[in-house]
């Protein structure tokens, strides 16, 4: 028993060591360029203008739009897509487009029980 | 109409035996468990069907030595030569994500601890009078891994294959019932509530590809007996992680696994013939199998407590219970038990790491058992 359990433990410890070694090598590989990047960032940050602390998020955009304008455009696009989808739907649809009511198994069960004739002939 | 014609017409009735009848009931019970209780239906349904077909009077499905029937052919083609369990291992490898283990290699130790039950049960079986190969085959139920159990017992004690497989798969489906009481018994509420922060570490594609290759080479050199199990498991995983043979990995985890599972289940069921199955030793095997499960869970939790001690109280000992191989059910059970004490406590990813380690460890333990018994058989 000791021999068996000892062998299992020994082999898994060897595997664990190999896995840790793999992880360690990856970390050292990653850390070398990361240091260089950090140094560059620090240099760049000192050259840039001071960051506004009230800003919690910065949206980078090449068009020069402000974050508020980008947010407004996003909302407008989403609303427009919704309206167009509703307009494109057939007039006699059972459910409102996008409602996903058809996906409810309870609704489906209710409908199927309505459609089934329960009365004995 | 002469007497021989009448005898031929009544062959079925004339060859009915009480053992066959009992085993037909067992077969129907397995089918019932699969369909209505959904206990490992993919395996228990074909096993039940195989059992039912094999125990029919003069079953043509089993056939004779000169004219083997379909079930016997399945057995000879895939179980007698241990092919089917290995094919299933390719599928399991293609389905398993070893990422949580690669993120935290320390979980390997828990995988090892989850195999204690194998060796403790082996000793108990020896004490009960089983021969060494039989005891080793019974102990391997503690690997909590169906294909490993089949692979090892087909080599060491083929005559016990039926009860061992049924015990392994039945108990595996009962993991959510068997494990929690043991886990609760060995831990305090405070220990079960320990929170473990989890920070996802991205595992590179290279590491994921290197892992199966390295494991195969190391295990192949250290324990050549475990190579068929680990080699096929890692082959499946390499196909999955390489991302260049998606058709093959898809086929391995779906088509191949499904077909082989059906054939394997039927072949195993056909070994459950009344005359060989209805014996006191079958009962012993079922009891010892259950014991092996409990011992594995207990050893895992106790090892978890040890890790908790060394980590200064930061390790949740329940994660140790996930070191058994029942993947991923054991990890889910651990998370459920932890959530029972503290809704906001999430240890699932840690448990998945231990569970993946258990998958590797069980295959290794199977190889170690075969290596230890190599001189005996």
Report the gap between the CA of B138 and the closest CA in chain A (Å): 14
The DSSP annotation for B65-124 comes to SSSB-HHHHHIIIIITTTHHHHHHHHHHHHH---HHHHH-GGGHHHHHHTTHHHHHHHHH
Express each pLDDT in A99-118 by its tens digit. 666 667 676 677 677 777 76
Express each pLDDT in B199-235 by its tens digit. 777 788 888 999 999 999 988 988 888 899 999 999 9
What is the percentage of chain B residues whose pLDDT exceeds 70?
Answer: 99
User: What confidence score (pLDDT) does residue A84 get?
Assistant: 79
Q: How many CA atoms lie within 13 A of B143 on its CB side?
A: 30
Q: Are B39 and B173 in contact (CB under 8 A)?
A: yes
Report the gap between the CA of A38 and the closest CA in chain B (Å): 20
To the nearest 10 degrees (0 to 180), the angle between helices B257-270 and B161-173 is 130
Closest by alpha carbon to B42, among B185, B146, B194, B189?
A: B146
User: What confidence score (pLDDT) does residue B136 get?
Assistant: 92
How big is the CA angle at B112 (ends B140 and B103), to the nearest 5 degrees? Answer: 130
B106 with A16: Cβ contact below 8 A: yes
Tens digits of pLDDT across chain B (377 residues): 678 888 888 888 888 889 899 999 999 999 998 898 887 788 889 999 999 999 998 888 888 888 899 999 998 898 888 899 999 999 999 998 898 888 888 888 999 998 888 999 999 999 998 999 999 999 999 888 888 998 999 899 998 988 898 888 878 878 888 899 999 999 999 999 999 887 777 788 888 999 999 999 988 988 888 899 999 999 999 999 999 998 999 999 899 999 999 999 999 888 888 888 888 888 999 999 999 999 999 999 999 999 999 988 889 999 999 998 887 888 889 998 999 888 888 888 899 999 999 988 999 899 999 988 876 65
Q: Which of residues 93-152 of B touch A (CB under 8 A)?
A: 101-102, 105-106, 108-109, 111-112, 115-116, 118-120, 122-123
> What tokens does B81 get?
């030569």
Phi-psi bin for A104: left (phi > 0), alpha (psi -120 to 50), beta? beta
Whether B371 contacts chain A with CB within 8 A: yes
- Interface probe for B, chosen from A2, A12, A24, A34 (most Cβ of B below 10 Å), is A12
Whether A6 contacts chain B with CB within 8 A: no
> How many CB atoms within 10 Å of residue B158?
15
Of A3, A11, A23, the CB nearest to B219: A11
> How many CB atoms within 10 Å of residue A89?
13
B275-308: buried (b, 16+ CB within 10 Å) or exposed (e) per residue? ebbbeebbebbbebbbbbbbbbbbbbbbbbbebb
> What tokens does B37 get?
């209780």
> What tokens does B345 get?
């406590």
Chain A environment of B148 (Cβ under 8 Å): none
Instruction: Indicate if ipTM > 0.85.
Output: no
Closest by alpha carbon to B42, among B82, B77, B88?
A: B88
Domain ranges within chain B, ordered by starting residue: 71-373
> What tokens does B125 get?
């079986």
> What tokens does B64 get?
């004779």
């Amino acid at each position: 028993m000791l021999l068996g359990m000892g062998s299992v433990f020994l082999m898994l410890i060897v595997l664990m060591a190999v896995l840790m070694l793999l992880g360690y090598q990856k970390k050292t590989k990653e850390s070398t360029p990361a240091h260089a990047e950090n140094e560059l960032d620090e240099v760049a940050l000192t050259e840039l203008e001071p960051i506004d602390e009230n800003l919690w998020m910065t949206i980078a955009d090449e068009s020069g739009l402000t974050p508020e304008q980008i947010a407004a455009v996003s909302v407008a696009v989403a609303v427009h897509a919704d309206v167009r989808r509703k307009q494109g739907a057939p007039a006699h649809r059972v459910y409102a487009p996008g409602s996903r009511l058809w996906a409810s198994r309870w609704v489906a069960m209710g409908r199927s029980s309505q459609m089934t004739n329960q009365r004995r002939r | 109409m002469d007497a021989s014609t009448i005898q031929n017409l009544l062959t079925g009735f004339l060859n009915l035996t009480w053992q066959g009848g009992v085993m037909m009931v067992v077969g129907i019970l397995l089918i019932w468990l699969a369909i209505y209780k959904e206990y490992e239906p993919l395996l228990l349904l074909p096993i039940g069907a195989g059992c039912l077909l094999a125990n029919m009077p003069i079953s043509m499905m089993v056939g004779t030595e000169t004219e083997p029937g379909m079930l016997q052919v399945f057995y000879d083609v895939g179980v007698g030569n241990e092919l089917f369990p290995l094919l299933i291992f390719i599928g399991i490898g293609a389905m398993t994500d070893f990422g949580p283990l690669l993120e935290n290699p320390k979980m390997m130790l828990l995988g090892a601890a989850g195999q204690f039950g194998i060796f403790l049960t082996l000793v108990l079986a020896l004490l009960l009078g089983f021969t060494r190969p039989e005891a080793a085959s019974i102990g391997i139920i503690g690997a909590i891994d169906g294909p490993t159990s089949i692979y090892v017992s087909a080599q060491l004690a083929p005559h016990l294959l039926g009860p061992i497989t049924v015990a392994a798969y039945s108990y595996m489906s009962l993991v959510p019932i068997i494990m929690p009481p043991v886990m609760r018994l060995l831990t305090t509420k405070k220990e079960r509530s320990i929170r473990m922060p989890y920070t996802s570490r991205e595992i590179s594609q290279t590491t994921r590809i290197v892992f199966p290759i390295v494991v195969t080479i190391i295990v192949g050199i250290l324990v050549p007996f475990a190579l068929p199990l680990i080699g096929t498991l890692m082959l499946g995983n390499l196909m999955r992680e390489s991302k260049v043979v998606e058709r093959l990995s898809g086929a391995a985890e779906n088509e191949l696994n499904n077909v082989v599972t059906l054939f394997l289940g039927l072949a195993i069921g056909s070994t459950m013939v009344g005359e060989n199955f209805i014996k006191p030793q079958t009962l012993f095997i079922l009891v010892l199998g259950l014991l092996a499960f409990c011992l594995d869970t207990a050893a895992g939790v106790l090892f978890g407590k040890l890790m908790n001690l060394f980590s200064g109280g930061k390790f949740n000992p329940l994660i140790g219970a996930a070191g058994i191989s029942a993947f991923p059910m054991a990890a889910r059970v651990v998370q459920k038990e932890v959530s029972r004490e503290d809704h906001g406590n999430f240890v699932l990813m840690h448990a998945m790491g231990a569970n993946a380690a258990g998958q590797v460890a069980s295959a290794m333990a199977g190889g170690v058992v075969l290596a230890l018994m190599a001189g005996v058989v």
